[in-house]
Structures are given as C-alpha cells and as structure tokens.
Amino acid sequence: MKEDVRIKLKNVTKKFDLSLRDDKSALAKTIDFLFGKSKKNDFLVLEDISFNVKVGENVGIIGKNGSGKSTLLRAIAGVYKIESGSVKTRGDLVYLTGFGYGLQKKLTMKDNIFLSGSIMGLSQEDIKEKFDEIVDFTGLRKYLNTKLFKFSSGMQSRLAASIGLHCVSHKNPDILLVDEVIGGGADRFFQKKALKKMESLLRGGSSVVLVSHSLDAIQKYCDRVFWLDDGKIVQRGNPEKVVEAYLKSIQELSK
C-alpha cells in the first residue's frame, strides 16, 4: 500500500444470512433439527466497494438507513469479516460508534474514568495525565466520588462523552472511523462544547471516515463524499455536488 494511503478497499462485498435467527419458535427449531436447517437467506449489504483514503483526508459516507454505511465502517475496522475483496489499513485505528464504553453504575465517577479509559486503550499513567481535563470538561467535579446510579441521564452523557473524546484525542490515531456521534451530550451548552472538541479531532490530521445523517457536518468536514444506496456507491466526489444529488433523490421519492 502506498505511503500516502491509510485505507484501501478493493471490491469489498459483505453478506448477512437472514436465516440465522435466535428467536425461532420451538416448533421451528424442532423442524430444523429433524429435517435440516432451512436454506441460507443471504442479503447483500455491501457490493463491490472500492476506494482509498489518503493520509489526513476526511471522507464522508451518506445514505438512507439500511444502505450499508455502518456495515462499511465495521468492515474497515475489522469487526465484520467480508465475503470477498480486501480491506487494508495502515496505522493505528480507532472506531468511534458512541460513548459510554464500560460505564458501571455501581462505580463512582472517578472509578469509571479509569475503567472506561482502560477499555479505550489508555494506560493508567495516560489516564492520570488526562484525568483533570476529563473531569473539568464534564463540569461535574463535585460528583467525583458519587456512584453513577445517582447520576441523571444527562450527567451520564456528559461523563461518557468527555471520557471518549479525551481518550481518542490522547491516542491521536492515524485512522478515525466515526459513526453518528457528532454533537453528542446532554444540554445545548454541553453539546456545543462536545462538538467543538469533536471538530478538533476531525481536523487533527487523522484519516477520517465519517458516517452521519447531518449533511451540514458532512459538507463542513469532508474532502470527499460517497453516497451509498443498497450497498453500492451511487455517487462519489465533491461534497456539495454529492449531497445535492442525494437530497434531490430524497425529494423525488417523497413526491
């Protein structure tokens, strides 16, 4: 892979077997046992996807729900095994699909910072270094020794977002995969602060693949955009032109 390329996808195809269900009735399971399982019901989620992401480039992925956007990110991250094609990445990779990894309601805020930070790959020394930043960002320092089950949902969102954003910032990955987490948080004030922190990550020099329904964010942060529909790339290129074509297709469908 060329030195100026961080991510290389070639003819990537991914299928899901819709016949693999854990919620089958007892009768259905008995029939499967006696007569053999029903035929596979493969559903093509990604089909022949190819593109490169260069060092420091931000690429946006747009499309309606079920178009394969999140599946594509998981394939790049190695969460999903693909049926055919190849996925190559070069450098440290962080896949950010939400905040709150490992938060335990029976532990204090302080203990949760160390636990979640460890889950996100930071050493204890790294967490100690970022600890005050994480706490001050939440605005919840007086609750440091309070167990999480006493926190409101908004307070938990503040803590989760602060841990996640600061841990990713500290790791400064070569590749950042972001799935619908822009602007996360509690009240509007915190959302604005979290978005500003996220902006610094998106513009921090990592190669970014951003999945979002926020078309404004896609146009603001991305150098190129890929429009996915039914697992295929319909259009790629200039963010404004691709987003305009996507919006036009939505309008035509709604008529």
C-alpha to C-alpha distance for 144 and 132, rounded to whole angstroms: 11
Contacts 24+ apart (CB under 8 A), 197-204: 197/137, 197/165, 197/166, 197/169, 198/165, 200/169, 201/165, 201/168, 201/169, 201/176, 202/58, 202/176, 202/178, 204/169, 204/172
Rounded Cα distance, 51 and 49, in Å: 7
Q: What is the CATH number of the domain that holds 10?
A: 3.40.50.300
Q: Per mean pLDDT, which range of 37-46, 52-61, 155-164, 221-230 is the poorest?
A: 37-46
Asked if the structure places residue 157 within a domain, the reply is no
Q: Is residue 98 part of a domain?
A: no
pLDDT, greater one: 128 or 190: 128
99 domain residue, yes or no: no
Q: Supply the range of the domain harboring residue 42.
A: 5-92+211-253
Residue 197 lies in a domain: no
Q: Is residue 156 situated within a structural domain?
A: no
Q: Look at residue 98 and tell me whether its pLDDT is greater than 80.
A: no
Rounded (5°) CA angle 40-17-73: 155
Which of the four pLDDT bands, split at 50, 70 and 90, describes residue 220?
A: very high
pTM across the whole model: 0.83
Q: Is residue 12 within 8 Å of residue 86, measured between CB atoms? A: yes
pLDDT digits (tens, 9 = 90+) for 147-168: 999 999 889 989 999 999 999 9
Q: Write down the pLDDT at residue 42.
A: 77
On whether residue 245 sits in a domain, the answer given is: yes
In a domain, 244, yes or no: yes
Query: What is the rounded CA–CA span in Å between residue 113 and residue 123?
Result: 12
Domain count, the chain: 1
Q: Kindly report, residue by residue over 116-149, the tens digit of the pLDDT.
A: 999 888 999 999 999 999 999 999 999 999 999 9
3-state secondary structure of 147: strand
Q: For the segment 30-39, what is each residue's pLDDT rounded down to a tens digit?
A: 656 565 555 5
Query: Is residue 238 domain-resident?
Result: yes
The per-residue pLDDT for range 11-36, each reduced to its tens digit, is: 999 998 766 555 555 665 565 656 55
- CA 116/CA 215 separation, integer angstroms: 31
Mean pLDDT, rounded, for 2-6:
91
CA dist 36 and 59 (Å) reads 45
Q: Is 76 left (phi over 0), alpha (psi -120 to 50) or beta?
A: alpha
Please give the pLDDT value at position 38.
54
CB 167 within 8 Å of CB 113:
no
Q: Which two tokens stand for residue 182?
A: 């822009």
User: 134 and 166 in contact (C-beta within 8 Å)?
Assistant: yes
SS3 category, 127: helix
